[in-house]
Amino acid sequence: MLIPVIMAGGSGTRLWPLSRSLYPKQFLALNSKQTMLQETLARLAGLDTCEPITICNEEHRFIVAEQLRELDNIGSIILEPAGRNTAPAIALAAEVASLNAGGDPLILVLAADHVIQDEAAFVEAINRATPLAEQGKLVTFGIVPQSAHTGYGYIKRGVERGDGFDVASFVEKPDGETAATYIESGEYYWNSGMFLFKASRYLEELTKHRPDIASVCSSALENSSRDLNFIRLNEEVFLTCPEDSIDYAVMEKTTDAVVVPLDAGWNDIGSWSALWEIDQKDEQGNALRGDVIALDSKGCLLHGGERLIATIGLEDIVVVDTKDAVLVAHKDKVQDVKKVVGQLKSQGRSELQLHREVYRPWGKYDSIDSGERYQVKRITVKPGAKLSVQMHHHRAEHWIVVSGTAKVTNGDKTFLVTENESTYIPVGIVHALENPGKVPLELIEVQSGSYLGEDDIVRFEDRYGRAGE
C-alpha cells in the first residue's frame, strides 16, 4: 500500500510578485494549466496509490481543499498551526497514514512545488525504490546533476544496494569549484527532498534520534480534531515542537539511508531564471506568457497578467506583471527577489501577503479601487456557496448584482437580488450572501466607513468552519 504525502507548506518568496505568502507558488499554474500541487498528484497516475495526505499551513487550507477537490482526490489534510520544518511534518503524516491504512503502509514524501518533466522516468524510479523501502530502508531520490549547481545540497553515494546505493554522506550547498569536483567524480546527486519508506521505519528512526520531536507530534495528533477532510492539531502542544529537517533529524543519522538516482527533468523552480530554463521559448530565447510584444529582445522571461507587456532591446531580463505589482530584474539577479520581500515585510505592505485578487472557499474577490473611507470590490460567489453570517462594526456595504442571482440576508429579512438590482447593508446589521443558482454570482461591493480592514468581520455562522475566527 502506497500513500502519497504532499508537503505543501512553503512560502515561495523567490517567485514574488506572483507568489505571495497567502498564495505561494505551489498553488500557482506555472508550468501547465494545472497548479503545481495538482501536477504533483497527477503525475502519480501510473502508480497504485491510496488517497493522499497533504500537509499545509492553516491559512492555506481552503486553497488546498479546493485544488484537490478539482482532482476529485482530497484525502486527508493536516493543518499545521505553525511551520516546524520537515521532520515533524513527516512524522505527523506517517502516523496519519498508519491510522488511515490500518497497518504499515509505504509513504511517498513529495514537495508540492517541484517540476518533473519526464513522468515515466519518475514512476520508474519509484518502482525501483519500492523493494528497498519494503526491506526497511529509508530511500531518498538523488537527482542526476545537469550542472555544478551551487544552490542545492548534494548526496554522495556509497556501495551499490539493489537499484540504489547506500548514502555515504549528505553535503551542504558547495561553492562552484567544489561542485565541479562532485560532478566530475560521478558519485554525487542533488538532494531532491523526496523520500520513500515504511511509515513505521521513519517513526522508529525519528524516535531513536529525535525522541523530543516524535513525542510532541504524537501528542499533538492524539489531541487533534477532525473537520471535514481537515485534521486540526492541538495548537498548544504542537507549538512546543522543535524545528528540524528530516535530513538533520533522521537521514544523516540512520544507518539505513539509501539513495536511488532520478533523471526525470526535475526542477524545484527556485527562481524566475529556473522557470525560464524549463519554459518553452521563441526563436530569440524568450519565454512568453500572456499578452506580450517582444521587439529586439532575447533571452527574457516576460510573464504578463491582464495588461499588454511590450519590450524593446532587452536581453536576459525578467518582467513579471500582476494586478498590483511589477517585477523587473536581470536574470543574474533574480535571487535578490528575497531582498525585495524583506523590504515589503519590514514596511508592513500588503503586497507581501495578498494579491489584489483574493481566493476564498466560497469564491473570490478583487479589490479594484480604494480610498481613505471607501473600497470597491468585484465579488464572485460559486454556485451553491454562501459567505458567513456576519456583521461589521465600522463599515456599511452596498451590493450591486452584475450577473446571477443573490440570496441576501439583511437583518431579519431574506430576499433575492437579481441583475441590475442592489441592496444596502448598514453598519452593525447581521447579514449574509448566498448564490442559490447554477451559475457564478458576480456583484460589485462598495464599502464605506472609518475602518475597512478584513479583520472587521464578526462571524456568527459559517459552513467552512471560520465562525469565531
| The pLDDT of residue 469 is above 70 | no
Within a 10 A sphere around the Cβ of 248, how many other Cβ atoms? 16
> What per-residue confidence (pLDDT) applies to 227?
83
Q: How far apart are the C-alpha atoms of 3 and 414, rounded to whole Å? A: 46
Q: Residue 384 has which C-alpha cell?
A: 451553491
Residues spanned by CATH 2.60.120.10 within the chain? 357-461
Residue 285: closest CA among 269, 267, 273 = 273
Q: Are the C-beta atoms of residues 301 and 319 closer than 8 Å to each other?
A: yes
What's the longest Cα–Cα distance across the chain?
A: 76
> What per-residue confidence (pLDDT) applies to 466?
77
Q: Residue 349 has which C-alpha cell?
A: 505592505
**pLDDT, tens digit (0-9, with 9 covering 90-100), for 438-462:** 999 999 999 999 999 888 999 999 9
Residue 97: closest CA among 247, 213, 202 = 202
Long-range contacts of 342-350 (CB under 8 A, 24+ apart): 344/16
Q: Are the C-beta atoms of residues 100 and 53 closer than 8 Å to each other?
A: yes
> What per-residue confidence (pLDDT) applies to 11?
82
Q: How far apart are the C-alpha atoms of 11 and 14, rounded to whole Å? A: 9
Residue with cell 464572485: 380
> What per-residue confidence (pLDDT) applies to 454?
87
| The pLDDT of residue 348 is above 80 | yes
Q: At the fourth CATH level, which superfamily is domain 2-267?
A: Spore Coat Polysaccharide Biosynthesis Protein SpsA; Chain A (3.90.550.10)
Q: Residue 273 has which C-alpha cell?
A: 531564471
Alpha helices in 189-336 (DSSP H): 199-209, 211-222, 235-238, 246, 272-278
Tell me what the pLDDT averaged over the chain comes to: 95
> What per-residue confidence (pLDDT) applies to 174?
93
- The pairing of strands 76-80 and 53-57 is parallel
**pLDDT, tens digit (0-9, with 9 covering 90-100), for 320-341:** 999 999 999 999 999 999 999 9
Residue 199: closest CA among 110, 93, 53, 47 = 93
**pLDDT, tens digit (0-9, with 9 covering 90-100), for 382-405:** 999 999 999 999 999 999 999 999
Q: How far apart are the C-alpha atoms of 112 and 265, rounded to whole Å? A: 16
Which regions of 102-187 does DSSP assign to beta strands (E)? 106-111, 115-116, 138-143, 154-161, 164-171
Q: Are the C-beta atoms of residues 445 and 377 closer than 8 Å to each other?
A: yes
> What per-residue confidence (pLDDT) applies to 468?
59
Residues of the chain with pLDDT > 70, as a percent, come to 99
Helix (H) or strand (E) holding 415: strand 413-417
Q: Residue 230 has which C-alpha cell?
A: 481537515
| The pLDDT of residue 9 is above 70 | yes
| The pLDDT of residue 303 is above 70 | yes
Alpha helices in 9-164 (DSSP H): 36-42, 61-70, 86-101, 119-134
Domain 357-461 has CATH 2.60.120.10: yes
Residue 451: closest CA among 398, 394, 397 = 394
Q: Residue 405 has which C-alpha cell?
A: 442571482
Within a 10 A sphere around the Cβ of 245, how many other Cβ atoms? 16
Q: Phi and psi of 15, rounded to 5°?
A: -110, 25
Residues spanned by CATH 3.90.550.10 within the chain? 2-267
**pLDDT, tens digit (0-9, with 9 covering 90-100), for 219-270:** 999 989 988 899 999 999 999 999 999 999 999 999 999 999 999 999 999 8
| The pLDDT of residue 467 is above 80 | no
- Classify the C-alpha dihedral 238-221-20-39 as positive or negative: positive
Q: Phi and psi of 12, rounded to 5°?
A: 60, 40
| The pLDDT of residue 120 is above 90 | yes
Residues of the chain with pLDDT > 90, as a percent, come to 91
